[in-house]
Structure 1
């Protein structure tokens, strides 16, 4: 991978990880257009740069992480369902990841759903995610399990899950950001362990690429989170729904035109 490719992928990761648009779908298009070949390091890179986006949440919402232990308990409870299913069905999920068509279809389906979600859940009563109960946290965690289907979007699943529990769009989005931390940190740790167990060793150049990717992802994620909250609060999900539909159709168009797309 070149530094240019690293920066582009990091920008895409930072922009799309916390938005309900599926970062996986965007990675498909980016890697196809840039002709990036799949390798063990490329697979590791796309997961490890999540550490930069995790740091952006910690920086923007550091006061939330200093409030009380109940905050952490709720995150753990919400993270349990997807963590268990992810471990149990890991091989099956990996096989689904081999199908760009699956990702494209889920992008379109999820996009159509987002066109109507504001109308369906329009009577929120909880304006602060700290006010949710442990039961509500678990239910949001169950919605996160939908994100195990490639192209669904973890953010979309958890934000909608929050809205079903009477959270405002802003509160649901913020809880989704917080819930990303244990999930993304866990995924990165597992990927690193597997990488070294397979006998791979990071070179000095690869470490530099990871550092650059995380720095770029961190900066872009901060901008994306702030912008997303403003747009979501004022305009809702409809624009994101149409955007997902367009991205899904682009992937389908690339497949029909004979492009051999790979998910990294």
Structure 2
């Protein structure tokens, strides 16, 4: 039996929190803990969580120092038990009700239990439009995250020694993944499940402040991947142009619709 710790951080996003919970509650595979780290919300989230009749929920509501402080709280709690941890924040959801079961099948079908699994995913815009996205090979991690963290599963014994670095306000998840996979054997300890596992809510702060996140990525690549400044800033330029073109394309599509 494989156990999962599903960490959901939330702050004043009751509608998103409810959407995430409904997705989790529909999972056919039932061996999971739902660890909710609420940042002392004032929008009714605390009251809704208090009346929630969910035996798998472990709820903390208190002020925090930001997103990655909250995620670290969830990480510490999640890794108290064996299994895998998934970070699925309020507004995000599983792709379907068999997503956890697919991960279980992938783990049990592997020659050795992987330390890190990730899948494909869908991006959801503010208008509800879904766009398919695909995980990248781990050897291309210098280009960016292999997948979104809502489609990533971290083995708890290994995750226990990792933290989100809070000096990064927007890209600490990218840094954490780099540190997590360092030293792992890509052939036996890392597994890409080539199926969509989640729907990623694109309205979060890291997406709204995407250009600022790209600047943090430069420092992370130089500090933790040891890339030279020329290559790091070259990748920044490419990502800047790609992000800018996506924004322009979305604005044009919205104007024409």
Give TM-score scaled by structure 2 length. 0.26
- Name the one with the larger helix percent: 1
Give TM-score scaled by structure 1 length. 0.26
